[in-house]
């Protein structure tokens, strides 16, 4: 079907990627793309989990698949999000025909408000739930007039001059997840989005027949989710999680507090349904959780009468066995509702003996320490705490394990394989799984963000690289200033700072004294006096010659930075921030 009439509107490579020539030897046999080639590349989502953004380009047309964010890790102080570098899209925005969304998770839609601030995207194509989530984001940022959101279904078809785009249903932890089929002049590209194979799903079944038909009719390049490439078996069905949740509700007499991902709509749906079955009033805490439930109820994915929902100031008006608190904070986030409850700083809810706290999630790598802090506080206040384990099935991943990834490869039978959405080891393991099911080793592309695959007449090869980078977002700033500030923080913490004081007379072209070098956090000055003196004389000799010619203060500062950077790295193998300070005699 046609969604709407207008749908016919036509830093250097990582060391790991460098060492991967065995996986794609044919990259050395190619140069740049021909103007008739179809180009496939990622601006985000490779060598990382998050900020997914993939592009397919042919002549004067370009389509984008997903626009996500990555949440800041512990090593990014003061940073809220990491987003892709949109420079290439800014330069080629006249080519952009649309942004296609696979599902409504933040690592696939969270970057849209930032993208629309700098790039003109005519249409965003998304299923109803994802479309509703995107609209809410754009309303909050006052960007609703920046694009047109077109709601699609799994049987929709979008045509441009060079691309014919179709869709198929997949299973994930959120309803309406889809894979995307892009027919191009040089072959068929299929992207799975995030997926798993759930034979007893909470929502609709996946389109196995379509996946199989794609394998029969031919797939040139498959892009497939690699997140759980290290998990050796099938993921647990959501139905088993629903049964485990029901069992905990059945045997619990006190208050139940459940923490999970707000975007895991299927899980939220099961928890709310369990609350209704056992006649518990539902208190929702956390803005993202409130937004998700409101949107999912409006679209019919969460069915619950209004009388079951209560406000925070009503929680003490009901007996404990009639209370269900559904909240954010399953990853130990400092400002999330559960963390504040555990710390005793929440305005309305505090832990008391007899409470049962359920973590219906698994720790994201790097969050285990934060979660343990919250768990210990909960125990200290007398709560019973349940976390996911092999014994209770309180959580299951929405991503395919190795055997499911192999099944996707066997169903679609791609000629070439491009593992995406995963850290480097995950991409490598996924490529190895592809080899096990018959994909030749040199037909898999384990790449980095910015690496371009060129399709030509049904054949694929590595072509070249476009410059991409991470952009660190502090608040709503995407100017890149936050990126520069963060890099300075990291350099200061690792290599320190060197300040160079230069006294000169620009009129006579003379230095008034030898430059003075002061170090903080780089070296211990008293133990390195000979090296500091040598560096001072080095700068003195360079500047004495430079300022006798016609020059600028900017050239003087750059000379100081260049000479000292190479000198200090040669001596210490470190790269401190170098700050020249020029004092000029008037």
As annotated, the active-site residues are: 225, 399
Tokens of 21: 């020539």
> Residue 414 is inside which H or E element, if any?
strand 414-420
First to last CA, the chain: 76
CA distances from 429 to 196, 228, 362, 408, 449 (A): 17, 10, 21, 15, 18
Concatenated DSSP letters for 359-400? E-S-PPTT-HHHHHHHHHHHHHTT-EEE---TTT-----SS-
φ and ψ of 361, to 5 deg: -170, 170
DSSP, res 81:
E
Question: Could you give the count of Cα atoms lying within 13 Å of 173 in the half-sphere of its Cβ?
Answer: 21
Using CA atoms, how far apart are residues 200 and 195, in angstroms rounded to an integer?
14
> How many Cβ atoms are within 10 Å of 457's Cβ, its own excluded?
10
Cβ proximity of 43 and 111 under 8 Å = no
Cβ proximity of 45 and 420 under 8 Å = yes
> How many Cβ atoms are within 10 Å of 180's Cβ, its own excluded?
24
Q: For residue 319, with 0-12 CB atoms within 10 Å meaning exposed, 13-18 middle and 19 or more buried, which class applies?
A: exposed
Using CA atoms, how far apart are residues 39 and 55, in angstroms rounded to an integer?
8
Cβ proximity of 356 and 248 under 8 Å = yes
Query: 520, 521, 502, 501: which is closest to 511 by C-alpha?
Result: 502
> In sequence order, which residues have a C-beta less than 8 Å from that of residue 103 and are 6 or more positions away?
127, 130, 172, 174, 176, 177, 178, 193, 194
Query: 299, 304, 302, 303: which is closest to 126 by C-alpha?
Result: 299
Q: Give CA torsion, residues 296, 301, 305, 309, to 10 deg.
A: -40
Using CA atoms, how far apart are residues 293 and 268, in angstroms rounded to an integer?
8
Q: For residue 507, with 0-12 CB atoms within 10 Å meaning exposed, 13-18 middle and 19 or more buried, which class applies?
A: exposed
Please list the alpha-helical segments (H only) found in 445-552.
481-495, 529-546
Q: Tell me if residue 423 falls in helix, strand or coil.
A: coil
Using CA atoms, how far apart are residues 528 and 530, in angstroms rounded to an integer?
6
Query: 504, 488, 519, 475: which is closest to 585 by C-alpha?
Result: 504
Q: Tell me if residue 186 falls in helix, strand or coil.
A: coil
Q: For residue 136, with 0-12 CB atoms within 10 Å meaning exposed, 13-18 middle and 19 or more buried, which class applies?
A: middle
């Amino acid at each position: 079907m046609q969604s709407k009439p207008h749908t016919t509107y036509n830093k250097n490579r990582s060391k790991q990627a460098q060492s991967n020539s065995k996986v794609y030897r044919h990259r050395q046999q190619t140069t740049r793309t021909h103007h008739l080639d179809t180009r496939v590349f990622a601006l985000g989502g490779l060598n990382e989990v998050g900020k997914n953004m993939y592009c397919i380009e042919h002549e004067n047309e370009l389509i984008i698949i997903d626009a996500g964010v990555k949440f800041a890790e512990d090593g990014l102080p003061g940073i809220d999000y990491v987003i892709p570098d949109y420079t290439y899209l800014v330069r080629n925005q006249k080519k952009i025909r649309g942004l296609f969304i696979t599902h409504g998770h933040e690592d696939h839609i969270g970057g849209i408000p930032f993208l629309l601030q700098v790039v003109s995207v005519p249409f965003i194509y998304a299923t109803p739930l994802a479309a509703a989530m995107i609209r809410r984001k754009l309303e909050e940022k006052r960007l609703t007039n920046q694009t047109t959101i077109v709601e699609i279904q799994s049987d929709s078809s979008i045509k441009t001059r060079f691309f014919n785009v179709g869709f198929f249903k997949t299973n994930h932890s959120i309803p309406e997840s889809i894979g995307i089929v892009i027919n191009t002049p040089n072959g068929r590209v299929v992207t799975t989005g995030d997926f798993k194979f759930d034979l007893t799903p909470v929502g609709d079944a996946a389109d196995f027949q379509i996946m199989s038909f794609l394998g029969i009719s031919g797939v040139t390049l498959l892009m497939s989710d690699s997140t759980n490439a290290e998990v050796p078996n099938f993921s647990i069905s959501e139905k088993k999680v629903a049964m485990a949740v029901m069992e905990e509700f059945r045997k619990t007499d006190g208050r139940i507090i459940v923490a999970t991902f707000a975007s895991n709509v299927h899980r939220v749906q099961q928890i709310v349904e369990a609350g209704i079955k056992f006649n518990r009033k539902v208190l929702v805490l956390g803005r993202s959780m409130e937004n998700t439930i409101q949107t999912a109820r409006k679209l019919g994915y969460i069915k619950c009468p209004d009388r079951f929902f209560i406000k925070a100031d009503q929680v003490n008006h009901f007996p404990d066995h009639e209370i269900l608190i559904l909240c954010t904070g399953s990853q130990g986030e400092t400002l999330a509702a559960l963390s504040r409850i555990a710390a005793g700083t929440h305005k309305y809810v505090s832990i008391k003996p007899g409470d049962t706290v359920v973590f219906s999630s698994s720790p994201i790598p790097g969050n285990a320490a934060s979660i343990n802090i919250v768990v210990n506080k909960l125990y200290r206040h007398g709560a019973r705490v349940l976390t996911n384990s092999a014994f209770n099935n309180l959580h299951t991943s929405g991503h395919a394990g190795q055997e499911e990834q192999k099944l996707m490869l066997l169903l679609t039978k791609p000629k070439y394989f491009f593992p995406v959405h995963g850290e480097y080891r995950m991409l490598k393991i996924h490529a190895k799984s592809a080899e096990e099911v018959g994909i030749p080793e040199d037909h898999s592309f384990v790449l980095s963000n910015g690496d371009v695959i060129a399709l030509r007449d049904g054949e694929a090869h590595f072509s070249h690289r476009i410059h991409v980078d991470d952009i660190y977002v502090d608040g709503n700033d995407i100017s890149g200033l936050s990126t520069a500030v963060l890099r300075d923080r990291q350099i200061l913490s690792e290599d320190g700072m060197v300040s160079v004081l230069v006294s000169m007379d620009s009129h006579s072209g003379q230095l008034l004294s030898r430059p003075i070098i002061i170090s903080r956090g780089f070296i211990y000055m008293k133990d390195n006096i000979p090296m500091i003196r040598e560096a001072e004389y080095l700068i003195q000799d360079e500047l004495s010659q430079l300022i006798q010619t016609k020059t600028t203060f900017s050239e003087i500062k750059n000379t100081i930075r260049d000479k000292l950077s190479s000198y200090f790295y040669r001596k210490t193998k470190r790269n401190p921030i170098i700050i020249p300070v020029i004092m000029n005699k008037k």
